[in-house]
Amino acid sequence: MRGTEAVRTVTRAPAAVDLNPARYARRRRAVGTALAWGTPVLLLLLWQVAASSGWIDVRFFPAPATVWRAGVAAFGNGTMTSAAEATIAKLLIGYGIGVVAGLTLGLLLGLSWIARSSLEYTLIALYTLPKLALFPAFLLIFGIGWTPQIVLVGVSVFFIVVLATMTAVISVEEGYRDAANVFGANHLQLLRHVILPAAMPAIATAIRLTAGIGILVIVGIEMVSGSSGLGYLIFERSQVFDPATMYAGVIVAGLIGVIFTALVTILLRFAIPQQRPRFRRR
């Protein structure tokens, strides 16, 4: 006969997150903010020390203080300001066109199996093409200037948003649709109250990711074919061996990307309830 096994009770003392969730959340946000700002500051300090100590060649990697002075001078004479304004304008126009067109067609493809059967594989094939390979065609169609650059940004954003939107709409659980149909919802009500709320988190992720892709594309194409913008400034300064101003342009482009992505994220949080931050234990 087997002996009875002792029953062991496991208890857990309340953690800080259980005792004071609000205080824990504030502390976690403070630590996250400190890490977010402290990491780039530490990297800049290491860069400055390396340049001052002669560990790196300052002809190619000037110290951050030198880059800062070059950037201030470029803003002072208007060179950096005009370049940043041109890049931002092209980014906003192209990004806006790409997002709106991608959302519209993505919803259509997700809701209509006829449209999806007709266009899905064509869009996937076009999506896999390197976007720079399409730029010569845009030059022939739209000529030299801002227009082909804006179109390239729009196309780069469009394909990601349309495919993400289509996939998100298709992935909505059939049970949600069936429940709405049982309660007599029409097509518009089904779209507004069931499909869009369920699909928007995935769509919002694509929209947020394409914000960074947009700045990447516009700066890259300005370096290849452009007469204005940060990409053109970076390339032109590299050709005359002015690395300090070149790095200043790179940093400004990166800051624009960070700020633009943050603004898109904030707008999505206001527009989509699922994107609003919630307290989590982990």
State residue 120's pLDDT score.
86
pTM for this predicted structure: 0.81
State residue 280's pLDDT score.
47
Task: Give, in order, the Cα–Cα distances in Å from 135 to each of 124, 215, 224.
Answer: 18, 16, 10
State residue 215's pLDDT score.
92
252 contact partners, CB below 8 Å, separation of at least 6? 71, 80, 84, 230
Torsion of CA 41, 217, 234, 228, to 10 degrees: -130
State residue 97's pLDDT score.
95
Residue 223, amino acid: M
Length of the chain: 282
The domain locations on the chain are 17-56, 63-275
State residue 11's pLDDT score.
65
For residue 42, the SS3 value is: helix
Torsion of CA 259, 145, 210, 115, to 10 degrees: 150
Consecutive 10-residue averages of pLDDT for the chain (282 residues): 58 63 77 84 89 85 91 92 94 95 92 88 87 84 87 94 92 77 74 82 91 92 86 91 92 93 89 59 44
In the chain, where does DSSP find H-type helix? 16-19, 21-52, 64-76, 79-111, 113-127, 131-142, 146-170, 174-182, 187-190, 196-224, 230-239, 243-271
- Is the separation of the CB atoms in 120 and 134 below 8 Å? no
CATH number of this structure's domain 63-275: 1.10.3720.10
Task: Give, in order, the Cα–Cα distances in Å from 177 to each of 108, 166, 170, 173.
Answer: 17, 16, 11, 7
CA nearest 160: which of 117, 210, 105, 113?
A: 210
State residue 189's pLDDT score.
77
